[in-house]
């Protein structure tokens, strides 16, 4: 099984992750991780922080000559904007952020002590972990892609850009919908035996844990609500040499918590960023008087970047499910088990 921990604050020295359980023998190139980190920083509507940082991942442990050893892998991304001790206190919580709830939970007197860790800057660690998992999954021809499906209700590229520009002009922010497609996943990842082993449940948890994500659907999702079963479910066919197949994929590649061999399709809703340049009403936590919410350096729209993070979150879940199914301490052992399984299916 895979597991990981991340650490680091938005303006701390570094963002760090430790990934345990990756088998031995997987070739990891730091440049591939850096390419994924760069993708996370892109997208129309990103803020000035992305002009400061040029995320590069160091791998202090877990590799020898570029190959995984089976031991924990450490990933470290240094922050250029290392200023946590110098930044001023934040006294007026932003609606929609962890500011007030976190302050009350931990008994703090400075909202900065909350937002430094609650910040989406932590998703750099998610992307680095996901990049390692993508390299592993590519050994078995699994591919993960993402796209922006809508921004502010608009679905055409030009209209989406105009919606972001409108938010900029109004000193506002805007959210949207992202989609992740997973190709090449074999039948049999996940299980119906226990709730926490269901692949759709694990993917949904991973996606909803991304800061700003408020809803997740798999396949037809909410579209099931207004259909009869005869319209909704994917009929099953069989052809010698091809095996079982479907002509539709409303299930989004998962049935009963198990991958069914079709593309896995996931959509998620990203809410508008909480920091507004024209801030909403709030309360000063010291004086308890009415005030405007604090303004931090922020983005206008991050749906495209959230798609990259979602790919990475899904890659971790899939790699974990893959190892659960095929086991093995080395890549060669896993490949042998995988090929034997495919032979049985044929």
pLDDT digits over 25-77, tens only?
Answer: 999 999 999 999 999 998 887 666 555 668 999 999 999 999 999 999 999 99
Both tokens assigned to 4: 């990981």
Q: Which domains does the chain have, with CATH numbers?
A: 3-345 (3.60.150.10)
The pLDDT of residue 32 is: 95
pLDDT in tens, 125-159: 999 999 999 999 999 999 999 999 999 999 999 99
Are the C-beta atoms of residues 13 and 79 closer than 8 Å to each other? Answer: yes
Rounded CA-CA distance 323/202 in Å is 14
The pLDDT of residue 84 is: 86
CA atoms within 13 A on the CB side of 27: 3
Q: How many CB atoms lie within 10 A of CB 337?
A: 14
pLDDT in tens, 74-115: 999 999 888 888 899 999 999 999 999 999 999 999 999 999
Write down the pTM of the prediction. 0.94
């Amino acid at each position: 099984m895979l597991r990981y921990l991340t650490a680091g604050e938005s303006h701390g020295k570094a963002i760090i992750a430790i990934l345990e359980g990756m088998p031995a023998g997987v070739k990891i190139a730091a440049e591939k991780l850096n390419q994924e980190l760069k993708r996370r920083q892109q997208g129309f509507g990103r803020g000035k922080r992305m002009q400061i940082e040029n995320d590069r991942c160091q791998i202090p442990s877990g590799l020898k000559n570029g190959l995984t050893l089976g031991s924990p892998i450490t990933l470290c991304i240094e922050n250029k904007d290392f200023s946590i001790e110098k930044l001023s206190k934040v006294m007026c919580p932003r609606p929609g952020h962890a500011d007030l709830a976190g302050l009350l939970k931990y008994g703090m007197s400075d909202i900065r002590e909350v937002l430094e860790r609650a910040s989406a800057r932590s998703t750099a660690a998610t992307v680095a972990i996901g990049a390692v998992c993508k390299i592993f999954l590519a050994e078995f021809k699994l591919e993960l892609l993402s796209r922006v499906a809508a921004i502010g209700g608009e679905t055409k590229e030009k209209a989406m850009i105009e919606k972001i520009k409108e938010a900029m002009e109004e000193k506002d922010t805007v959210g949207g919908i992202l989609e992740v497609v997973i190709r090449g996943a074999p039948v049999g990842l996940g299980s119906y035996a226990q709730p926490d082993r269901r692949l759709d449940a694990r993917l949904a948890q991973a996606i909803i844990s991304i800061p700003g994500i408020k809803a997740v659907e798999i396949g037809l999702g909410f579209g099931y609500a207004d259909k009869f079963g005869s319209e909704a479910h994917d009929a099953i066919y069989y052809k010698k040499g091809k095996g079982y197949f479907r002509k539709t994929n409303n299930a989004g590649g998962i049935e009963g918590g198990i991958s069914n061999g079709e593309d896995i399709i996931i959509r998620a809703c990203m809410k508008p960023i909480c920091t507004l340049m024209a801030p909403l009403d709030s309360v000063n936590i010291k004086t308890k008087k009415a005030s405007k919410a604090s303004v931090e350096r922020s983005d206008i729209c991050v749906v495209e970047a959230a798609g990259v993070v979602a790919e990475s979150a899904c890659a971790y879940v899939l790699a974990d499910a893959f190892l659960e199914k095929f086991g093995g301490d080395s890549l060669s052992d896993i490949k042998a088990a995988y090929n034997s399984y495919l032979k049985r299916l044929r």
